[in-house]
Structure 1
Amino acid sequence: MSSEEKRSWVYLVVGVGVAAVYLVTVLSKLPGADVTRIAYVRPMLVAIGAGIGLGIVASIAAAIASPRGEAGRTDERDRQIHRRGEYVGFYVMSVAATVPLALAMAEAAHFWIANALYLAFVLAMVASSTTKIVSYRRGF
C-alpha cells in the first residue's frame, strides 16, 4: 500500500469518525428542542479542529510506520489518482453546497445552514477519499 493510499484511508476514517461523533452529539439534542437554542458552534469548531489535528497525527504515524524510504514518495500514478479524487470531491462539494445556499435563501435557522454546510464538506471528503482508495484498489 502506497503512502498516498494510506493517507486517503486516514482521512476517510478520521473524517467519518469525527463527523459521526459531532452529529450524534448535536443531533441527540434535537428532539423536542428549539434549534435556535441548540449550542452547535463550539462542538462544530471542536470537530473541525479535532479532524484536522487527528488527520495530521494519524498521517505522521502512518508515515513513521511505512517501510524506510516509502513515505513521501509519489509517482505519476499517485498524482493522477490524487487529482481525480480532488476533482470528484470538488464536484460533490459544488452540488452539496446548493443545500445550505437554498436554506439561506429560505431564511432557515443558522443551525440548519451551518450543519448542511458541514455535511457538504464531509460528503466531499468522503467522495474524494473513496475515489482515491477505489482507484488504488481497482487500478487507474
Structure 2
Amino acid sequence: MTHEEKRAWIRLIVAVIAYTAYVVVILRRAEGGPLPDVPYAAALLWTIGGAIAAAILAEIGMAIVNPRASRVIDVRDKEIGRFGDYTGQAFVAIGAVAAMLMAVAEWDRFWIANVIYLFFVLSAILGDVTKIILYRRSVPTW
C-alpha cells in the first residue's frame, strides 16, 4: 500500500467518525425536540477541528511506525489524487447550490450550516473512496 493510499484511508475513516460523532452529539442535545433549537456551532467547529487534528496525528503516527516508507509521489499517485479530488468536488458544488437555495428560501441557519457540513463530508468520502478504488484497480485512460 502506497503512502498516498494510506493517507486516503486515514482521511476517509476520520471523516466518517467525526461526522458520526457530530450527528450523535446533535441528536442527543435535541432530546426529541426541534433540531434548529439545538446549539450546534461549537459542536460543528470542534468536530471539524478535531477531524483535522486527528488526520494530522494519524499521518504523523503512520510516518513514525514506518519511517523508511517511500513518500515519493509518482505520476500514478498524481493522477489518482487529481481524479479523486475532481470526483469529490461535485458534492462541494451540490452543497453550495443547496445552501444558496436554502438561504434564498430563508431556512434556519442550522439547516444551512448542516447541509454545507454534510456535503463537505460527502465530498471527502467520495474523493477518498475514489482514490482507494483507483489504487486497488487502475487509473482510467481517457
TM-score when scaled to structure 1? 0.92
Equivalent in the alignment of 2:55: 55
- After TM superposition, give the deviation of residue 61 of structure 1 in Å: 1.1
- After TM superposition, give the deviation of residue 92 of structure 1 in Å: 2.0
Distance in 2, Cα, partners of 1:78 & 1:109: 42
| SS in structure 2 at match of 1:18 | helix
Query: Which moved further from structure 2: 55-64 or 14-23?
Result: 55-64
Question: Alignment RMSD, CA only?
Answer: 1.5
Distance in 1, Cα, partners of 2:43 & 2:126: 24
Identity of aligned residues (%): 38
Distance in 1, Cα, partners of 2:3 & 2:34: 46
| SS in structure 2 at match of 1:28 | helix
Letter paired with 1:18: A
Q: Which runs of 4+ in 1 moved over 4 A?
A: none
Equivalent in the alignment of 1:110: 109
| SS in structure 2 at match of 1:29 | helix
| SS in structure 1 at match of 2:26 | helix
| SS in structure 1 at match of 2:29 | coil
Equivalent in the alignment of 2:46: 46
Q: Deviations over 1:63-111 (max 9, x none)?
A: 22236141x2111100110010111111221123222121111101111
1:94 aligns with 2:57: no
- After TM superposition, give the deviation of residue 31 of structure 1 in Å: 5.7
- After TM superposition, give the deviation of residue 36 of structure 1 in Å: 4.0
TM-score when scaled to structure 2? 0.91
Alignment check: 8 A CA contact 1:3 1:66 kept: no
Equivalent in the alignment of 2:135: 136
Alignment check: 8 A CA contact 2:10 2:55 kept: yes
Distance in 1, Cα, partners of 2:132 & 2:32: 40
Distance in 2, Cα, partners of 1:27 & 1:103: 22
Distance in 1, Cα, partners of 2:32 & 2:17: 26
Q: What are structure 1's unaligned runs of at least 5 residues? A: none
Equivalent in the alignment of 2:37: 37
